[in-house]
Structure formats: C-alpha cells, structure tokens
Structure 1
Amino acid sequence: MTVQLFIEKFIRSKSRLNDSILRWTNFSAIQLRYIIDFYEMFEEIAFDQVLRVYIKKELAEEAFNPQDRKRIIEAFCRATFEENKITEKLKSIDIWIAMLKRLIVRILNANISLDVPLQIYLERTDLWSNGINYEDLAMFEVEDIILLQHTYVILTGLENKKKAANQSQQPEIKSKVQTGEGLRKKVNTWYTQTATATTSTKEIRGKKTSGNKGHS
C-alpha cells in the first residue's frame, strides 16, 4: 500500500494534511512499509545539514580534553562493534554512526539530563534500523561512565575511524592497479620480444633456404 492510498482510504479528514503531500508524487508513491526507513533517512540528512552545525556546547568535542575523548571512543568501540560476541548485524560501523545521528536528533535536541548512561538509550529498539531487536542489543553493554553527554564525541570518533579506514584502503587499491599495469607491460614486452625473435628466426631460416638453393 502506498502513502497516497493509505491517506485516501484511512484518513477521512484531510484538513490537517498539506496538499503538497499528494502532489509530491515521489513521496506519495512510496510503499507504506518503507515509510520508517524514509523518515530515518531524513533524520540523518537533517543532522548532517543542520544540527551538526548547531551542536550544543556541552556536547561538542571542545568540552572534553583529547585524552578523555580518546579513552571514551576506544572504550565504546571495544564494547560495541569490536566485541567478538556481538551479532553480525551490529559489527558494521555505519550502523552505529546512523543510530547516533538519530539519537542526537530525537533525544539530545530536547532539554534532558546529559549525565545518564548512554547504554540506557542504546537499548531502545526504536533508534535502530535493519531489524535490530532486543536480543541483538542484549549482546553488548557499554560501561556506565560513558554518558549521554559523550554521544557527539563518540559519533565524530567513529566517523574519523571510518574515514581513516577508507583512506588506508586507497594505497592498497592503487598498488593493485599499478601491479596490474606492471604485469600488462611485462606481457607486452614479452610479446614484443617474442615476436621480434620469431621474425628474426624466420629471416635466418629464409636466408639459409635461399643459400641452399643457390648451391644446388
């Protein structure tokens, strides 16, 4: 069922609906089962385009010294996607980055206490996507000294970690390309040398044959 069909079938009073919703065909044609994914995607875009610039001072990296930031990020990584016993669905760093963005948009944008353990919010299934359930979330536990206040620091730490991993793969890819080019050059050189040698052999044989005919 599409968004448009749902509205037409189940929402009798459309006085509170913006008319542009149905006129926006790209949106109204979305299947209803994908609407949550669509909403979550918009949350992540909203964070990147708007909220990141206006992050609260008490959440910003400058609120913590470098040693504390490093300790918090490393402890979080060890307890979560780097944990061996964790489910495969949670071993992707991208899953955690997306979840932390949604957490900031939904929770930290409100006026709430920041000195509570982050683990409390990590256990909420509504902040996760890709079918993450309670059983999956029970497979890790972040220590209580890591607080809600550390969310943005952890997010930027994971983003930097991902960026560093991507950059480290670039030389390897480049090396493979160069190795491939080197092999092609060797093959071309071998082919040229072989072709030259074959031509020379034919010329020598031709001369010998001509010489033999002359003697006869």
Structure 2
Amino acid sequence: RSKSRLNDSILRWTDFSAVQLRYIIDFYEMFEEIAFDQVLRVYIKKELAGEAFNPQERKRIIDAFCRATFEKEKITEKLKSIDIWIAMLKRLIVRILNANISLDVPLQIYLERTDLWSNGINYEDLATFEVEDDILLQHTYVILTGLENKKKAANQSQQPGIEQNVQTVEGQRQIANTWYTQTAKATASTKDISGKKASEKKDHS
C-alpha cells in the first residue's frame, strides 16, 4: 500500500491532496537538510572541502561573506539570522553542487535564486545584499562550515552568562538566608529584652 502512494497515483490519494503545498515544500526542504547532514557531508568533493584552501584564504572568504550578508546593517530583517543562511547553503549543495557543473562562477548568481530560500524570501529581500564576485560557488562548503562554527562559538559564549545567572540566584539565596538568620536573632533578642523588662516590673511590684 505504501509503495502505491509513491507512484503517479499519489496525487489522487485523498489524504495527500488535502495537504497544503507549502507544508509539502517545508517537509522537502527539511528532508534536504537532513540528507546533507547525514549523507552528503561525508562525501563532499575534494575541490569544495576546506583542505583545498589555506587558512588565510578560508578566513578571508568567510569574513567577506558574513559582512556582505547577515552582518550587513541594511539587509532585510528576514536575512539577519545565521540559521537562514546555513539552511540555504545546505540546500544549494544538495541541489546544485551535487551535479557536474562549473565551480568557478560567482556564488551571488545562486544566492539570487528564490527557489533556494524558504520563509517567504522574495526578490526584494535578496536585493538587500550582494556578495563579491571573487567569492565563488566552490567556496560554498567553506562558507557553510564557517557559519556553523560561528554559530557554535556564539552558543558557547552564552554559557558563562547562564552560569553567572545561576550564581546570582545562588547569591540571592545566600543573602536571603543571611537576612533570615539575622532577623531571627534580632527577634529572639527583642523577646529576651521584653522578657527581662516584664520580669523586672514583677519584682518591683
């Protein structure tokens, strides 16, 4: 039964036809990203791998790409998330670089294709950035790994802040405990004084 749903009759399957197209596209794009992470990443062509470029060249490419894209001040809000770019680059590798094509063409040509983007990115959004022509299609994987490392570093840098918040909460607890102890002692001391005064009055009477 499941096999029959994979052939031409799938469009006549009632349950499938009820699914909106945008959800099918979202699922397909998610599947592409998973396919890249689980399969294609291991089989990246040698001319695309980071080892094909020296460290200085990799850094120059990644920095230039970041400045021209999501780090650009006037870029549309839709494209300011590094996650959007990571997902798009994965799809680009799956759809384009998996074929036998020339790699020495500007990457910008492919970044302008709306079919490689999700989240309603349109031509007006893509017109808010422009990557230099010397950043080529063959640099795609280098840029992708650079963005992934950049995101990982940003996430790790947030950890001390979380620990600091935990310490602050613990500090507040210590302050509260100290206040409670001091208050309890002060209350006990007040009771002792009151008790002594009451006892003295009884003795005088």
TM-score normalised according to structure 2 size: 0.92
Deviation at 1:31, TM superposition (A): 3.6
Distance 1:167 1:30 in 2: 39
Residue segments in structure 1 that go unaligned for 5+ positions in a row? 1-12
**Residues 167 and 66 (structure 1), Cα distance of their counterparts in 2 relative to 1, 3 Å cut:** same
Task: Please tell me whether residue 107 in structure 1 is matched to residue 96 in structure 2.
Answer: yes
Distance 2:67 2:38 in 1: 29
The CA RMSD over aligned residues, in Å, is 2.0
Which residue in the other structure is 1:193 paired with?
182
Higher relative contact order (CA 8 A, sep 6+): 2
What are the within-5 Å matches in structure 2 for residues 96-135 of structure 1? Answer: 96-135=85-124
Distance 2:6 2:66 in 1: 48
Deviation at 1:17, TM superposition (A): 4.4
- Return the match for 2:24 from 35, 38, 54: 35
Task: Please tell me whether residue 202 in structure 1 is matched to residue 188 in structure 2.
Answer: no
Task: Please tell me whether residue 175 in structure 1 is matched to residue 164 in structure 2.
Answer: yes
Which residue in the other structure is 1:16 paired with?
7
Which residue in the other structure is 2:36 paired with?
47
Task: Give the fraction of aligned pairs with identical amino acids, expressed as a percent.
Answer: 83
Name segments (4+ residues, structure 1) moved above 6 Å. none
Deviation at 1:29, TM superposition (A): 7.2
Residue segments in structure 2 that go unaligned for 5+ positions in a row? none
What are the within-5 Å matches in structure 2 for residues 123-162 of structure 1? Answer: 123-162=112-151
Distance 2:6 2:54 in 1: 52
**Residues 210 and 50 (structure 1), Cα distance of their counterparts in 2 relative to 1, 3 Å cut:** same
Which residue in the other structure is 2:202 paired with?
213
TM-score normalised according to structure 1 size: 0.87
